[in-house]
Amino acid sequence: MKADLAPRVPSIGLEHVTRTFGAGTAEAVRALRGIDLTLPPGTFVSVEGPSGCGKTTLLNLLGLLDTPSHGTVRWDGTPVGVRTDRERSRLRLERVGFIFQRFYLLPTLTTEENVELPMRALRVPRPERRRRAADLLAEVGLSERARAYPHQLSGGEEQRVAIARALANLPGLLLADEPTGELDSANARSVLDLLVRVRADRDASLVLVTHNPEVAARARRHLVLRDGSVVSDRTEA
Amino acid sequence: MTRRRASRELRHTRWQAVLAVVAMASAVTLPVVLVSVGGGVAAHEISSLEDTGYQLVVSAAGLHGIEHAHADAAKLLGLADVREAAPILSVPVDVFNASGNVSPVLAEGVVPSQFVPTLGPTESALFPLPLPLGDPNDTVRFANGTYAGPPTYDVLLSSTYARAYHVHVGASVVLSPTANVSSGLRYNVTGLFGTPLSLVQPHGAYAALLLLSNLQVLTGYAAGPGTAVPDGADTIEVVVAPSAAESPSALAAVARDVQAVFPSYSVTTLSSEAAQLQSADDVLTGFYLALSSVGMSIGLLFLALVLVRRVERERRSIAIRRAIGVPSGAVAAAILENGAVLAAGGGLGGVVAGYVVVRGLATWGTSTVQEAAQLAQFSPAFLAELVAAVVALSAFAGLVAVRAAWRVDLLEALR
């Protein structure tokens, strides 16, 4: 399985990346300032820093949700800036799994439909989709809640569904933005354990944005941002 | 988003969908009713025309436009392929019955022996045959332009009139060319005849049938026996040989022959009248559809508003889909599909509602509306095209919503 996944895990590089919101206006905000960063395949990195330091912006750039104002983001050595919006969508669909702080499940879909959503977009055949969704829900311990709607789930359950959805298309890059931010400590620990386990099982890269030092401690590499710049980049032995 | 709010939004979304379907259904109901009833009435009139029996009509303007009706009919019978010819004089008169009621009635003067053979199977079944008018050939009292009299004073009345005024066979009525009863003559009701189903009831179906010469005398203000009367008619109905009747070109050739004999009269074929009626029906159908397009536009506008509102409510859902990597085209397709499903639901609902409305009018409508509704024809092809058109047009409403979806700022919506 790991051999199959290996080519799907991207090597990512950021060169002098700057991101300015509202450029040219009085309210212009420089969220990132000249970031240089390399994320080899299989990296497990935490991104820490105070609110507004650019953590989510960095995550959005890594996951191709956003493009830099200046500088270059490379995936497997290729600048993603030259790719069309459609191509970037395709890369996200096939190779990136997003996990948001507020879960962001679609309220009109059931648990299993939410998990199937990325597979539907990738035109995975229905039986395969069903089977894979059932496996993922079993993996996150929610087989019994397959027909439930998001508003019928607890916060911890919603985040587990979100993780299952993020894993649906066997992505090589998992991007988690404060995944335990809305959970109590027991649920937070459980969700974090799950994230760490699924990453290890798949040998995927995981970028974990968090305020919480305990959560960050689970990563092997630790980035600290302040005012849009990387002030610390430490890898544990 | 709280759980209660999420649940409420789900219900709200469903209500919006129901409202959109109802709006589209209302828009579709109108053309279903108008075109089905209008088309049915036209088809019925055309069918009646084709079932009339005679195939050519010679007519002239004015009360006695055809000045020598008896002689002209005889001339026509001399032409090849002409089998029957019946002069007819149609004059509105007032009928005064024994109860003192007066009603306008369309009186038709005919020569019974010539009139009956020109009738089609449907019409001939409406009359008592032979016509009980006392003079089958209308020759006793009319000869060489001089009225020999006295009149037979026999008249047939339409059963519609007889029912409305409780007039029976054996009663007597006064027919008068003016509103003054003293200008009229008293006639004996010797029979009743039915009228084909028509949309001009009740007054248009009040009719009387009497001898041509008697009606000529009546319209000549009852000059009396021994006086000259105009041998006038306004129409001569002509039956042609079956071989000519079945071929439009042969019928046209006969019409040309007739026209050559009577260059100053108008000669028309029923097939051309049917074509004109069909053409008028086509124009009316176009008008109905144009009228319906107003309602349809409002329905589509409502659908567009519902879809745009949905996009606004689901900005975050759209952003989530796009963040996951669902292509913009797929998001657009989902919106268009959503619009098409709502439009199809509305279209089918409108067809059903239109059918129910027409059936309701056919059962409980006022007399003329009821008759028209009873003639309604529901063409599956038209109804399918209507629903298909609504679904196709829903794409415009969907595109408005798609544009709104594409303008959703992904990062802002996910914040």
Which 8-state DSSP code applies to residue A7? G
**pLDDT tops 70 at residue B201:** no
Provide the pairing of β-strand B154-158 with B207-211: antiparallel
Question: How many Cβ atoms sit within 10 Å of the Cβ of residue A72?
Answer: 15
Smallest CA-to-CA distance from B209 within B130, B101, B268, B100 is with B130
Query: pLDDT tens digits, residue range B14-68?
Result: 787 888 888 889 889 988 998 898 888 888 777 776 777 788 888 887 777 788 8
Cis omega before residue B121 (within 30°)? no
Concatenate the DSSP letters of all residues of A91-154 into one string.
HHHHHEEEE-TT----TTS-HHHHHHHHHHHTT--HHHHHHHHHHHHHHTT-GGGTT--GGGS-
CATH number of the CATH domain containing A181: 3.40.50.300
Query: pLDDT tens digits, residue range A132-178?
Result: 999 999 988 999 999 999 999 998 899 999 999 998 998 999 999 98
Tokens 């931010």 belong to residue: A181
- Say how far apart CA B319 and CA B109 lie, in whole Å: 82
Chain-wide mean pLDDT for chain A? Answer: 90
Provide the pairing of β-strand B154-158 with B172-176: unpaired
The residue length of chain B stands at: 415
- Say how far apart CA A80 and CA A74 lie, in whole Å: 6
Domain that residue A118 falls in: 2-235
Q: Do A65 and B323 touch (CB under 8 A)?
A: yes
Quote the pLDDT of residue A4.
43
Q: What is the pTM of this model?
A: 0.65
Give the contacts of B253 (CB within 8 A, at least 6 positions apart). Answer: B244
Q: Which residues pair with B78 in a beta bridge?
A: none
Quote the pLDDT of residue A182.
81
Quote the pLDDT of residue A19.
95
Long-range own/partner contacts, residues B225-229 (CB < 8 A, 24 or more apart): B225/B147, B225/B148, B225/B149, B225/B150, B226/B146, B226/B147, B226/B148, B226/B149, B227/B146, B227/B147, B228/B145, B228/B146, B228/B147, B229/B142, B229/B145, B229/B146, B229/B147
Quote the pLDDT of residue A38.
95
* Closest in A63, A90, A151 to B7, CB measured: A151
* Closest in A66, A92, A100 to B411, CB measured: A66
Q: Do B327 and A108 touch (CB under 8 A)?
A: no
**What's the pLDDT band for B277 if we cut at 50, 70, 90?**
confident
Give the contacts of A45 (CB within 8 A, at least 6 positions apart). Answer: A39, A205, A206, A207, A208, A219, A220, A221, A222, A223
Choose from B9, B315, B324, B411 for mutation: most chain A CBs within 10 A.
B324
Q: Give the start-to-end residue ranges of the domains of chain B.
A: 3-47+276-414, 61-264
Are the C-beta atoms of A137 and A164 separated by less than 8 Å? Answer: yes
Query: pLDDT tens digits, residue range B378-387?
Result: 999 999 999 9
Query: pLDDT tens digits, residue range A185-220?
Result: 888 888 889 889 888 888 899 999 998 888 899 999
Quote the pLDDT of residue B3.
52
Are the C-beta atoms of A163 and A206 separated by less than 8 Å? Answer: no
Are the C-beta atoms of A159 and A187 separated by less than 8 Å? Answer: yes
Provide the pairing of β-strand A173-177 with A96-99: parallel
Query: pLDDT tens digits, residue range A39-66?
Result: 999 999 999 999 889 999 999 999 999 9
**pLDDT tops 60 at residue B275:** yes
User: A169: which chain B residues are within 8 Å (Cβ-Cβ)?
Assistant: 325
Q: E strands within B197-311?
A: 207-211, 235-240, 266-269
Cα torsion B376, B378, B382, B385: sign: positive
Quote the pLDDT of residue A3.
39
Q: Do B325 and A152 touch (CB under 8 A)?
A: no
Query: Among all residues of chain A, which has the CA nearest to that of B333?
Result: A121
- Say how far apart CA B137 and CA B116 lie, in whole Å: 11
Are the C-beta atoms of B41 and B33 separated by less than 8 Å? Answer: no
Query: pLDDT tens digits, residue range B112-164?
Result: 999 988 888 778 888 998 999 988 888 755 555 566 666 678 999 999 899 98
Q: Do A89 and B410 touch (CB under 8 A)?
A: no
User: What phi and psi values does residue A135 have, to the nearest 5 degrees?
Assistant: -60, -45
Are the C-beta atoms of B343 and B390 separated by less than 8 Å? Answer: yes
**What's the pLDDT band for A7 if we cut at 50, 70, 90?**
very low
Query: pLDDT tens digits, residue range B207-253?
Result: 999 998 888 888 775 455 566 667 788 999 999 888 887 787 888 88
Quote the pLDDT of residue B278.
81
Are the C-beta atoms of A125 and A156 separated by less than 8 Å? Answer: no
Q: Do B327 and A90 touch (CB under 8 A)?
A: yes
Domain count, chain A: 1
Q: Which residues of A105-117 are buried (b: 16+ CB within 10 A; e: fewer)?
A: bbbbbbbbbbbbb
**pLDDT tops 70 at residue A223:** yes
